[in-house]
A and B are shown apart, each in its own frame.
Chain A
């Protein structure tokens, strides 16, 4: 069992994939000699050369569009988009092309492209460096969207994403890049299926669902709630599309209460989808309405006030209080 940061775990996962699959390759801006702005691809160009770790021109549509062509030729490209807010120039290629090629060809063509996007706020950065656009992609059929919250998952989920024959968007919680955790490089365990949710903390009074950067926040809130004598279950969703409603539903049937927390704006977000579906599936088990904790309906605010925007322990505890007051 090794201990490493999430950034290092992704680096090791990429290394394993490049080693095991000669047709896998990495492409993106500054990922070669610099090792990426977050150094996630550090050292890989030395090991695998510039045909496998490709420093591309500064052009997001070009990165994803050429990755589609490489995939059509039998390769497994992994693209890095430097920051969440820079994925939009590639939005057309991702949503009108990458997502639809398998369907348009009635399954004759597969495009196993992985798009890595460091996402989310809390790092005190400037405009376009802190966004959470996952709902925009989740709404598009044909894409799979996953986000690890810990080093073990990061190591394995990136490898599973590369193996997957569907396009996968791999949202990396950038403010957790330096979060250390144990990684079992021998045994994937629950990471065997990156599209399944994990119950990371068991409880009986209410359920909190989170993913990526908010999983540690949800766990901290659950621990804080113990002082008030409450037993809170926490689910790390891990996959946003497909969304593992079965795991959430089973938990809600046990606890009767559900809080969904994500950094993206609440309106039109993943939380709304979970609330709607759980109210369809488990209406009679709910003791309170599903409560969402998320961002406001505004462009991601300037760094000096982002603390007021981001879901934190207090906002989740407030939601728990409201839920438990029914």
Chain B
């Protein structure tokens, strides 16, 4: 994927772009390639990256965005029916997640927050496994090393520091590797939201990343609402502008434009892999639904705002483009719909079938090495449980 050489002038153009970044209250420049009307614009740096995306890849983007939206609907329904304890919807953020996820390579390691179902799909995580956490049968659900996609983290922003440390590990691996190693260079993506940007750990992670020039891309999905608190309460300056204070590039990208998101993330990951240090991407997007199924957006925001964002829908605009350019026909869209329904059916049936673990599994994984207190408490539990069994035997 892509050349590892940045196009000439890229750094200068970006430096110029960040230099004229907005002061508080001023509008910030935003990278956009595919407009809400479905027409493709240009950008001095990122059009070259967009050109790498062939029609087949565009169809994959569309398919994945439609799939994950359908999955989101199904999971929301499952929650409403009492099959999931909670659901965290992503509708509206498909382009931000599918675009950035596809820009990563298999050797890159992803630290999600808890809403990156689209990135999980791209990284081949079985979506049934992803539901285990929300079903209450696991605090994780998948093996993070299989697809280099970390477990969800519910404590806001904690994972941004893990991402930087992991990236520092990658730097050390490269130094330990033999000179003839053919391992591809790797980077890390840390996802977080506009609400999490207020957490101290985001600040510390950016300080560490800058200090050690760590190969990490901070990917902030600014979906405008931290549950009921708007972005204006989190920050007085555009979030992308904060990067300048740490000394690395910050880019605001139209988070509903999958082509621009992909281009910008690909640039940022190459930047990181090549040892040029961290990048902050602010994907300017919108959470169309609730923060989770536990809240009610009608209590804290105007429906007009939601309607205005629906006009910028990431799927609609790519569909318009694909149709206008003759890159996808009716049969393609029918197939996408059918695939989505198939996925929904799979998710519904597997959710019902998710196995409830034995609490003994929890005893087994508190510590990596033998621990006498665990052994003692497990022995007590076994004896206690056996007491019920012998009662039953006696009753029989």
Q: Cβ of B166 and Cβ of A92 under 8 Å apart? A: no
Chain B residues near A105 (CB-CB < 8 A): 140, 143-144, 151, 365
Interface residues of A (CB under 8 A from B): 22, 25, 51, 56-57, 59, 61-62, 64-75, 77, 89, 92-93, 96-97, 100, 102-110, 112, 141-142, 144, 164-166, 241-246
Q: In the complex, what residue of chain B is closest to A97 when comparing beta carbons?
A: B158
Q: Cβ of A102 and Cβ of B367 under 8 Å apart? A: yes
CA distance A108 to B162 in the complex (A): 16
Given A70-B172, A166-B368, 8 additional A-B pairs, CB 8 A: A59-B207, A96-B155, A104-B139, A106-B138, A141-B366, A142-B366, A144-B367, A242-B373
**In whole Å, how far is B174's beta carbon from the nearest beta carbon of chain A?**
11
Chain B residues near A112 (CB-CB < 8 A): 368
Q: Which of B150, B208, B364 contacts A62 (CB 8 A)?
A: B208
Chain B CB within 10 Å, residue with most, of A22, A67, A73, A106? A73
The total of Cβ contacts below 8 Å across the A-B interface reads 143
Q: Known contacts A96-B155, A106-B365, A243-B373: does B204 contact A72 (CB below 8 Å)?
A: no
Question: 10 A-B pairs, CB-CB below 8 angstroms?
Answer: A57-B208, A68-B165, A69-B161, A70-B165, A72-B162, A93-B158, A96-B155, A107-B365, A166-B371, A241-B373
Q: Cβ of B162 and Cβ of A65 under 8 Å apart? A: yes
Q: Which of B109, B138, B208, B369 contacts A166 (CB 8 A)?
A: B369
Q: Cβ of A164 and Cβ of B144 under 8 Å apart? A: no
Q: Cβ of B371 and Cβ of A242 under 8 Å apart? A: yes
Q: Cβ of A73 and Cβ of B204 under 8 Å apart? A: no
Q: In the complex, what residue of chain B is closest to A89 when comparing beta carbons?
A: B200
Q: Which of B144, B151, B158 contacts A65 (CB 8 A)?
A: B158
Chain B residues near A106 (CB-CB < 8 A): 138, 140, 361, 365
Chain A CB within 10 Å, residue with most, of B200, B362, B364, B366? B366
Chain B residues near A242 (CB-CB < 8 A): 371-373
Chain B CB within 10 Å, residue with most, of A66, A67, A97, A106? A66
Chain B residues near A70 (CB-CB < 8 A): 165-166, 168-169, 172
Chain A CB within 10 Å, residue with most, of B155, B170, B172, B175? B172
**In whole Å, how far is B92's beta carbon from the nearest beta carbon of chain A?**
28
**In whole Å, how far is B27's beta carbon from the nearest beta carbon of chain A?**
33
Q: Which of B160, B167, B211, B361 contacts A57 (CB 8 A)?
A: B211
Q: Cβ of B161 and Cβ of A107 under 8 Å apart? A: no
Interface residues of B (CB under 8 A from A): 109, 138-140, 143-145, 150-151, 153, 155, 158, 160-170, 172-173, 175-176, 200-201, 204-205, 207-208, 211, 361-362, 364-369, 371-373
CA distance A164 to B168 in the complex (A): 22
Q: Cβ of A62 and Cβ of B205 under 8 Å apart? A: yes
Q: Known contacts A75-B172, A97-B155, A108-B145: does B368 contact A69 (CB below 8 Å)?
A: no
Q: Known contacts A72-B166, A93-B161, A97-B155: does B139 contact A103 (CB below 8 Å)?
A: yes
Chain A residues near B205 (CB-CB < 8 A): 62, 65-66
CA distance A3 to B177 in the complex (A): 39
**In whole Å, how far is B100's beta carbon from the nearest beta carbon of chain A?**
19
Q: In the complex, what residue of chain A is closest to B175 when comparing beta carbons?
A: A51
Chain A residues near B139 (CB-CB < 8 A): 100, 103-104
Q: Cβ of A102 and Cβ of B162 under 8 Å apart? A: no
Chain A residues near B176 (CB-CB < 8 A): 22
**In whole Å, how far is A84's beta carbon from the nearest beta carbon of chain B?**
20
Q: Cβ of B204 and Cβ of A57 under 8 Å apart? A: yes
Chain A residues near B145 (CB-CB < 8 A): 108-109
Chain A residues near B167 (CB-CB < 8 A): 69
Q: In the complex, what residue of chain B is closest to A104 when comparing beta carbons?
A: B139
**In whole Å, how far is A285's beta carbon from the nearest beta carbon of chain B?**
19
CA distance A61 to B164 in the complex (A): 12
CA distance A61 to B138 in the complex (A): 27
CA distance A64 to B371 in the complex (A): 23
Q: Cβ of A73 and Cβ of B166 under 8 Å apart? A: yes
Q: Known contacts A59-B208, A166-B369, A243-B373: does B162 contact A69 (CB below 8 Å)?
A: yes
Q: Cβ of A62 and Cβ of B366 under 8 Å apart? A: no
Q: In the complex, what residue of chain A is closest to B138 when comparing beta carbons?
A: A106
Chain A residues near B150 (CB-CB < 8 A): 72
Chain B residues near A72 (CB-CB < 8 A): 150, 162, 165-166, 169
Chain B residues near A22 (CB-CB < 8 A): 176
CA distance A92 to B362 in the complex (A): 22
Q: Cβ of B364 and Cβ of A107 under 8 Å apart? A: yes
CA distance A92 to B201 in the complex (A): 10
CA distance A166 to B365 in the complex (A): 11
Q: In the complex, what residue of chain B is closest to A105 when comparing beta carbons?
A: B140
CA distance A102 to B165 in the complex (A): 17
Q: Cβ of A75 and Cβ of B204 under 8 Å apart? A: no
Chain B CB within 10 Å, residue with most, of A64, A166, A246? A166
**In whole Å, how far is B155's beta carbon from the nearest beta carbon of chain A?**
5
CA distance A163 to B223 in the complex (A): 43
Q: Cβ of A69 and Cβ of B165 under 8 Å apart? A: yes
**In whole Å, how far is B162's beta carbon from the nearest beta carbon of chain A?**
4
CA distance A164 to B139 in the complex (A): 24
Q: Which of B173, B367, B368 contacts A73 (CB 8 A)?
A: B173
Q: In the complex, what residue of chain B is closest to A60 when comparing beta carbons?
A: B204
Q: Cβ of A69 and Cβ of B168 under 8 Å apart? A: yes
Chain B residues near A107 (CB-CB < 8 A): 364-365, 368
Q: Cβ of A61 and Cβ of B161 under 8 Å apart? A: yes
Q: Cβ of A66 and Cβ of B165 under 8 Å apart? A: yes
Q: Cβ of A142 and Cβ of B367 under 8 Å apart? A: yes
CA distance A187 to B172 in the complex (A): 32
Q: Known contacts A75-B172, A104-B139: does B161 contact A65 (CB below 8 Å)?
A: yes
CA distance A43 to B144 in the complex (A): 38
CA distance A246 to B205 in the complex (A): 43
CA distance A52 to B105 in the complex (A): 28
Q: Cβ of B162 and Cβ of A57 under 8 Å apart? A: no
CA distance A22 to B167 in the complex (A): 17
Q: Cβ of B168 and Cβ of A108 under 8 Å apart? A: no
Q: In the complex, what residue of chain A is closest to B368 when comparing beta carbons?
A: A165
Chain B residues near A73 (CB-CB < 8 A): 109, 165-166, 168-170, 173
Chain B residues near A166 (CB-CB < 8 A): 367-369, 371
CA distance A269 to B365 in the complex (A): 26
**In whole Å, how far is B365's beta carbon from the nearest beta carbon of chain A?**
4
